[in-house]
Chain A
Amino acid sequence: GAVVSQHPSRVICKSGTSVKIECRSLDFQATTMFWYRQFPKQSLMLMATSNEGSKATYEQGVEKDKFLINHASLTLSTLTVTSAHPEDSSFYICSARVQSTEAFFGQGTRLTVV
């Protein structure tokens, strides 16, 4: 199957700083990427849908100014958590999809804001 690489896998940052998470499709071009947030032992909650070359579509309740998404190429989408606070600590996961085929998930990024 296709490979989606997410970086970093773990990050600790100070409250008030910004953190960027990268999601790369390594061996295919992804027209659409999705960003999810997951709390311990809970399911994945879709945050936003990112389409290459256009603005991301955010789910209800997700602050677009806080979670900046950029999908500048067919192999890279980034999620920037701006002015992070401890309540933003979570597991963030991206997935990449090519048109109607299945979505492939990255390994996830564990963000801890101290």
Chain B
Amino acid sequence: TQLLEQSPQFLSIQEGENLTVYCNSSSVFSSLQWYRQEPGEGPVLLVTVVTGGEVKKLKRLTFQFGDARKDSSLHITAAQPGDTGLYLCAGVSQGGKLIFGQGTELSVKP
């Protein structure tokens, strides 16, 4: 069974601080995705990383895929209250299923 361990599960920081969320697995995934979810809504895709060692940037968000394609990280620079939400990593298995991590509940206080 493929599992994704996401950490931390809860994070409360002040506006302007930096943070990193980690997503680790003992399994190799063909690709890995990061989502952001607002309360009462479905997840919205932020990025898909496919190649081992890949780094993608989306404004203040930086995503990395580990060389072995087993882990990934999301780094947010100078967090803002608008970044508050549930961040989910999801590995794409060979069967095409999305295996989700436990999620990180981020709260950015002004």
Contact = CB atoms under 8 A, between A and B. Distances in A.
Interface of A: 1, 4, 6, 32, 34, 41-46, 49, 91, 93, 95, 97, 100, 102-108, 110
B53 interface: no
B33 interface: yes
A104 B105 CA distance: 21
B98 A110 contact: no
Given A41-B105, A43-B88, A43-B103, A49 B97 contact: yes
Contacts of A102: 33, 45, 48
- Is chain B's binding surface mostly helix, strand, loop or mixed? strand
B42 interface: yes
Contact of B40 (A43, A44, A108): A108
Interface of B: 6, 33, 35, 40-45, 48, 86, 88, 96-103, 105
Secondary structure call for the A interface? strand
